Structure 1
Amino acid sequence: MVFKVYGNRDYAASKRVATVLLEKHVPFELIEVDSASGEHKSPAFLEKQPFGQTPYIDDDGFILYESRAICRYIATAYAYQGTSLIPTDPQENALFEQAASIELTNFDPPALAAIFEGFYRPVVHGEATDTLALTEHMKKLGSKLDVYDVILGKQRYLAGEEVTLADLFHLPNGELLLDIGCNFLSARPNVARWWKDISTRLSWLSVKDGINSTT
């Protein structure tokens, strides 16, 4: 059975999953969910994803939702192929989990808040951007990225010298931040070096402008 991703070709969380599938050389089919018509809130969809959010995956009958959980599953279920994205050594794995937690708790909240103000509010909701709020969100994000710059001044990636899921998790929202004019790379040379490294990976370049099935 073909690995199936039920999601949206242009949505950040779906791109996160597709990037990891490409890193792990797992062929997949994207099943486009018509969110505009409310398909993600239909009874059939809610049976698989009770929160009515995309994406979820079907791997030969195994259903899983939440993009970061899906990425962890892919990296472990297909550990024997593609890029090794989760360390197996206990201490290296702990450092990976630390880095993954940093992304989830320190980067993602201010990044999503800034993206909402700079993109979703004007483009999706047709409302005026609250520029003061956007500035404040970017300021909070900047303080976190200043710490990133210190960490990345000591090692190549957030968990050490090898790329992991923790790095790749940043890609979709990092790209959106750049799109709304939040140049988080400015004056942070180590962050800029790291971002250039992860954002030029073939996996990300293949999905950043939209996901296509590989089967």
Structure 2
Amino acid sequence: MAVCKLYGSIGSLATMRALASLFEHELEIEFIPIDLKTEQNKEEGFLSLSPFGQVPVFQDGELTIFESRAIMRCISHIYPNSGKEQIYMAPKMQGIVATWIDVEDHQFDPPASKLISELIEKPKNGLPTNEAAVAEEEAKLTRVLDVYEERLTRTKYLGGDKFTSADLTHLPNLYYLMATPMRRLFDKRVHVSAWCNDIMSRPAWSKVVDMVEKAKV
């Protein structure tokens, strides 16, 4: 099997999502770093792969895909691991997983990303946190987590009885949110807390975290 390539920036939410999927499927990859600070993502060569200049980009032979959730879905279908694949083979169950991936994209990610910006990115760059924005996004995330808590009283994972891409897609935001005061929103919900501890302890995710932590040094 040819080695797959992933162009990305360590620490970016989208790159972390794609890496997690690749590691879950135990694929041999060549990671090609793209420096966003020097705007390498806006160079002609990279734009030929990702027309909007966003990381990551996944290459598998003649196949080139951008957008991290599309990469995650594609990998799940092309490289299923028997008993460990991040999808269900039954179409109805695939629909359930797809629903919760979309929930993460449209309901969970927007407030989570804004909270990470306010609580981590702004202070790191010497900018003041907008406390009103934090309160607004915390309220939105609270409503989402209430839905998750109810869902997880009935199934071990969001997509059903096994870990799937519906869970994996949350990992990058969870990694950063757990380092903020927003962690309390997860800890106070019994089923959400157990779910977080479960998916964040997976060996594939630990490999991603190790890459991110080493890049900080």
Q: Do both proteins adopt the same fold according to a TM-score greater than 0.5, normalized to the shorter chain?
A: yes
Query: Which residue in the other structure is 2:135 paired with?
Result: 135
Query: Which residue in the other structure is 1:111 paired with?
Result: 112
Question: Does residue 1:144 correspond to 2:151, yes or no?
Answer: no
> Alignment partner of 1:17: what SS?
helix
Question: What is the root-mean-square deviation of aligned Cα atoms in Å?
Answer: 1.5
Task: Indicate conservation of the 8 Å contact 1:172/1:208, yes or no.
Answer: no
Q: CA deviation at 1:75?
A: 0.8
Give deviations 1:95-141, integer Å, cap 9, x for gaps. 111111111111111111111111222224x3111112112211210
> Alignment partner of 1:26: what SS?
coil
- TM-score, structure 2 normalization: 0.92
- Identify the range of structure 1 (128-137 vs 166-175) with the bigger mean alpha-carbon deviation: 128-137
Query: Which residue in the other structure is 1:155 paired with?
Result: 155
Task: Indicate conservation of the 8 Å contact 1:2/1:29, yes or no.
Answer: yes
Which 5+ residue runs of structure 2 have no aligned equivalent? none
> Alignment partner of 2:187: what SS?
coil
Query: Which residue in the other structure is 2:195 paired with?
Result: 194
Aligned 1:39-50 pairs, distance under 5 A: 39-50=40-51
User: What is the distance in 1 between the residues matched to 2:48 and 2:91?
Assistant: 36
Moved over 3 A (4+): none
Aligned 1:9-88 pairs, distance under 5 A: 9-80=10-81, 83-88=84-89
Q: Larger RCO: Structure 1 or Structure 2 (Cα < 8 Å, ≥ 6 residues apart)?
A: 1
Q: Counterpart of 1:177 in structure 2: which amino acid? A: L
Q: Counterpart of 2:68 in structure 1: which amino acid? A: S
Task: Indicate conservation of the 8 Å contact 1:7/1:55, yes or no.
Answer: yes
- TM-score, structure 1 normalization: 0.93
User: What is the distance in 2 between the residues matched to 1:37 and 1:82?
Assistant: 42
Q: Counterpart of 2:59 in structure 1: which amino acid? A: D
Q: CA deviation at 1:81?
A: 5.2
